[in-house]
């Protein structure tokens, strides 16, 4: 199974906060996404790539279910940055 690439770009113009490019195994997320919302949208876009036939409503339902469960189990993003551009 091909690796899914994740990139970040402000997506205001597209009226979305995340995009999945099914043909390229690539996800674009708005860098302003934080915390649980970031987690949910990341899972959501992964599910679009893994399940291209699913309707939007099904992706929303299943990504929220997975996000809520993993969040309840205390999975969080860990920032291990050791250098700063500032
Ligand atoms: Zn979607």
pLDDT tens digit string along 72-83?
Answer: 999 999 988 888
Cα(48) to centroid(ligand 1), Å: 7
Cα(56) to centroid(ligand 1), Å: 5
Beta strands across the sheet bearing 5-8: 5-8, 26-29, 18-21
Cα(86) to centroid(ligand 1), Å: 35
Task: Identify the pLDDT of residue 57.
Answer: 97
Q: How far apart are CA 51 and CA 11, in angstroms?
A: 23
Task: Identify the pLDDT of residue 55.
Answer: 96
Listed in order, strand segments (DSSP E) in the chain are: 5-8, 18-21, 26-29
Q: Taking each helix axis from N to C terminus, what angle separates 35-50 and 56-72, rounded to the nearest 10 degrees?
A: 130
Cα(78) to centroid(ligand 1), Å: 25
pLDDT per residue as tens digits for the range 3-49: 999 999 999 887 888 889 988 999 999 999 999 999 999 999 999 99
């Amino acid at each position: 199974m091909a690796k899914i690439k994740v990139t970040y770009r402000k997506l205001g113009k597209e009226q979305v906060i995340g995009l999945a490019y099914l043909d390229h195994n690539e996800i674009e997320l708005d860098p302003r996404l934080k915390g649980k919302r970031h987690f949910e949208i990341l899972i959501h876009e992964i599910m679009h790539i893994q399940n291209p036939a699913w309707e939007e409503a099904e992706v929303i339902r299943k990504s929220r279910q997975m996000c809520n469960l993993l969040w309840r189990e205390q999975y969080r993003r860990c920032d291990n940055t050791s250098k700063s551009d500032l």
